[in-house]
Structure 1
Amino acid sequence: MQVTETQNEGLKRAYTMLLTAQELDDKVIEKLKEAQPDVEMKGFRKGKVPLALMKKNFGPRVMGEAMQEAVDNAMKAHFEATGDRPAGEPAVKMANEDWKEGDDVQVEMSYEALPEIPDLDMKKVKLERMKVTPDDAAVDEALASLAESAQDFDDRKKGSKAKDGDQITMDFVGKVDGEAFEGGSAEDYPLVLGSNSFIPGFEEQLVGVKADEEKDVTVNFPDDYQAEHLAGKEAVFSCTIKAVKAPKAAEIDDELAKKFGAEDLDGLKGQIRERLEAEYAGAARAVMKRALLDQLDEMVDFDLPPSMVDSEAGQIAHQLWHDENPDVQGHDHPEVEPTEEHIKLAKRRVRLGLLLADLGQRAEVQVSDAEMTQAIMEQARQYPGQERQFFEYVQQNQQMQQQMRAPIFEEKVVDYVVELSDVTEKEVSKDELQKQIEALDEE
């Protein structure tokens, strides 16, 4: 099959491939001969059907297979000979759309090649790994937060009005059009005001109530309420307040520790210290990773496949548009055009993505089955009761697997590069680390 280059500009490549009618016919005959021993037709013994008759009956179908096989083999041979790696699926189409049997086959192929990535001396990369040691104040602060989350409630003085954050105990009966509805009544129900556990507007109307008070609360069910027979309806809840209680943080003692799975308070403090160390280390890694990517970005300069940049810029612009318009859930909105800033960011992401992929390939970095399983299990926890279905969905979805594998691969490549880099440790305070994290968010 003859291949002729028609474009070679930057990373853009285009070729015409010519398969002569004779070459195609030879391939058809070859395939028919391969199948002949197993072919049976009326009037002929198995394996004795004449090639001419086989060609008449099966020729068109075999011709299509032979044509596709010839094109595939030509493409494979082309990439092996040139060393080109296409950035995406090559575009392939028939040049002579009015082709008929007996004509030569002309095929056009075009693609964007991945660029050559230069070798880098990783020892030139200088990084600083910040280290924060949790002090007693940080542990005590975390303890106080845990105690607050494990809060209890004490009765307020008789006659006190309920405040936001208080817990009220009540009986209530809800009615729509004067009729009580299923699921709209309860007795001795504990409700923390401000918890947003009831429909909008309900809890706000109970701020200020007292024990032994009766109060009607009027609300409208949302139009998209899950119970269709109540959606959009006005409801009146007749509430009888039995108690008003103020929040009270749990005592910081061994009993609190046991609530969180520790044997005693010292054990809980040890767990908190370990958790804080892990959090600080994770934050310090994020800062160091940004510094690493910044340096790598400055160290390389190579052509980028335009289609990859355009696609990435479009995704960035689209995501940022949704961030600025959170009320729009779907994609039925005006087309979002990438700005120069979006394109600049896209170029950085594509450049670093290609660089990290190349570094990982050269270092033979692999994502193990165990690492993938762990990642899937962690994400499956976001779907309580449907973990098995999620796991099966990922196993059957190659694109989803790739989306989950990519960040694991990137982190492993970053670890590999860090090991080769010149890294110094620096002891810093929690506040210094926090400032660095905030600076990342601002960029």
Structure 2
Amino acid sequence: MQVTETLNDGLKRGYSIVVTAGELDEKVNEKLVEAQPDVEMKGFRKGKVPMALLKKQFGQRLLGEAMQETIDGAMTKHFEDSGDRPAMQPEVKMTNEDWKEGEDIHVDLSYEALPEIPEVDMKSIKLEKLVVKADDAEVDEALKNLAETAQDFDDRKKGSKAKDGDQIVIDFLGKVDGEAFEGGAADDYPLVLGSNSFIPGFEDQLVGAKVDDEVEVKVTFPEEYGAANLAGKDAVFTCKVKAVKAPKAAEINDELAKKFGAEDLAGLKAQIGERLEAEFAGAARAVMKRSLLDALDKKVSFELPPSLVDAEAGQIAHQLWHEDNPDVEGHDHPEIETTDEHKKLADRRVKLGLLLAELGQKAEVQVSDAEMTQAIMNQARQYPGQERQFFEFVQQNAQMQQQLRAPLFEDKVIDYIFELAKVSEKEVSKDDLQKAVEALEEE
């Protein structure tokens, strides 16, 4: 095998590779020797078919496979010898397309190499960690909101009409084509109007109803309804209103605390305080992460592979275009041009991505199977009822796994750098932290 360099310009590399006919023939012979013990042919015992006959019978069939393996092997050896790591999939082209058996194979290999990443003294990086303590007023406000979500209902004055948000207690019987159907009846059913827990249009027709009213509710089951015998069918529900109740916030006491798994009100307040401070810590981490990335961006400079930058700029432009045109769900739209602003942002992202990947590799940062499983489960919750199918889809899709693994890996590298950097704490108010977070969103 002969390898000749044809291009060395910045990170761009080009090579001409010649695989001789002899090397290719040797590869075919290796495959025949490997297969010989299992080959049976009329007139010969198993494993005793002469090599010449095997080659005549199977050589042509093995030639294409041998060519691919030989070229792949030549590329692998080149990258091992050169130490280059391609930024994207290398371009491989066979130049003697009119090749005939017995001739050498000529292949052109081109790619952009990943750059050498300079060393970074993480201990020289200075960061400020914002710290917010949950005060009594914030805990009381969160407790009040919690009480509203755990609302109770009190009977309205006799003769009051039900309003949106009220709870009504009803007996109902549903019929399709005059016939009652399974699951279409209940007694003393508490229904909160506006909760959208019933078929679309059902709750709207009960707004304005009073105790002892009988209301005929006419609805159409959705086409995608779970029960096939009801999907798309018109139905009539006879509803008897037995109570109309107004919502009220639950009382803030030990009973409320027990509803949320605490022993008493003091325990619930402690839980709320811990949750608030965890939320504040998460926001503060995002602010400190941005500060770290800004510091690394200023501290480090190296040549970037143009193909990676162009691909990232195109992705940014595409994403921003869809954000500006939310009505367009598919990708049947005009070609989106990248701007200097897109390229500037792409430069930063590619540089920091390569840098963090290098730092993580040198520090032997790993994403564990347990962390991946948790990430997949968190994502699967976005697809209620289809969690298992989503889990199986991710297990069979390497690209999707990488999409989930990448942010986990990045966060672990960020945490690794935080441990080495000089971090000072600064206690601030909730409003100050909020302003810092808003500043991130504006950039």
TM over 0.5: yes
Q: Which residue number in structure 1 is paired with residue 355 of structure 2?
A: 355
Question: 2:80 matched to 1:80?
Answer: yes
Distance 1:342 1:161, change over 3 A: farther
**Structure 1, 148-157 or 336-345: larger mean CA deviation:** 336-345
CA distance in 1, matches of 2:324, 2:179: 43
CA distance in 2, matches of 1:108, 1:369: 39
Cα displacement (A) at 1:336: 5.0
Q: Which residue number in structure 1 is paired with residue 332 of structure 2?
A: 333
Distance 1:129 1:163, change over 3 A: same
Distance 1:159 1:32, change over 3 A: closer
Local SS of the residue matching 1:280: helix
**Structure 1, 244-253 or 57-66: larger mean CA deviation:** 57-66
Identity of aligned residues (%): 74
Distance 1:335 1:230, change over 3 A: farther
1:165-213 deviation per Cα after TM superposition (whole angstroms, max 9, x unaligned):
2111223445667766665544333221222223444434433332223
CA distance in 1, matches of 2:113, 2:59: 36
Question: 2:289 matched to 1:289?
Answer: yes
1:298-336 deviation per Cα after TM superposition (whole angstroms, max 9, x unaligned):
22333333333333334334444444455555x253245
Does the aligned pair in 2 maintain the 1:313–1:338 contact within 8 Å? no
**Structure 1, 68-77 or 243-252: larger mean CA deviation:** 68-77
Does the aligned pair in 2 maintain the 1:3–1:15 contact within 8 Å? yes
Q: Which residue number in structure 1 is paired with residue 437 of structure 2?
A: 437
Cα displacement (A) at 1:409: 0.9
CA distance in 2, matches of 1:348, 1:176: 62
CA distance in 1, matches of 2:189, 2:146: 25
Cα displacement (A) at 1:358: 0.8
Q: Which residue number in structure 2 is paired with residue 5 of structure 1?
A: 5
1:49-81 deviation per Cα after TM superposition (whole angstroms, max 9, x unaligned):
443323212222343343223212221221122
Does the aligned pair in 1 maintain the 2:174–2:185 contact within 8 Å? yes
CA distance in 1, matches of 2:400, 2:27: 39
**Structure 1, 107-116 or 333-342: larger mean CA deviation:** 333-342
In structure 2, list runs of 5 or more residues that go unmatched.
Answer: none
Q: Which residue number in structure 1 is paired with residue 258 of structure 2?
A: 258
1:106-130 deviation per Cα after TM superposition (whole angstroms, max 9, x unaligned):
1122222212222222233221100
Letter in 1 for 2:308: M
Q: Which residue number in structure 2 is paired with residue 148 of structure 1?
A: 148
CA distance in 2, matches of 1:324, 1:32: 60
Does the aligned pair in 2 maintain the 1:312–1:346 contact within 8 Å? yes
Q: Which residue number in structure 2 is paired with residue 135 of structure 1?
A: 135
**Structure 1, 250-259 or 334-343: larger mean CA deviation:** 334-343
CA distance in 2, matches of 1:218, 1:37: 77
Question: 2:122 matched to 1:122?
Answer: yes
Cα displacement (A) at 1:22: 3.2
**Structure 1, 419-428 or 211-220: larger mean CA deviation:** 211-220
Letter in 1 for 2:126: K
Q: Which residue number in structure 1 is paired with residue 346 of structure 2?
A: 346
Letter in 2 for 1:405: R
1:275-311 deviation per Cα after TM superposition (whole angstroms, max 9, x unaligned):
1121111111011111111222222333333333333
Local SS of the residue matching 2:16: strand
Distance 1:166 1:109, change over 3 A: same
Distance 1:348 1:14, change over 3 A: same
CA distance in 2, matches of 1:333, 1:221: 33
Q: What CA RMSD, in Å, does the superposition of the two structures yield over aligned residues?
A: 3.0
Does the aligned pair in 1 maintain the 2:314–2:338 contact within 8 Å? no
Letter in 1 for 2:16: T
**Structure 1, 230-239 or 70-79: larger mean CA deviation:** 230-239
State the aligned residue count.
442
In structure 1, list runs of 5 or more residues that go unmatched.
Answer: none
Does the aligned pair in 1 maintain the 2:321–2:336 contact within 8 Å? no
**Structure 1, 217-226 or 400-409: larger mean CA deviation:** 217-226
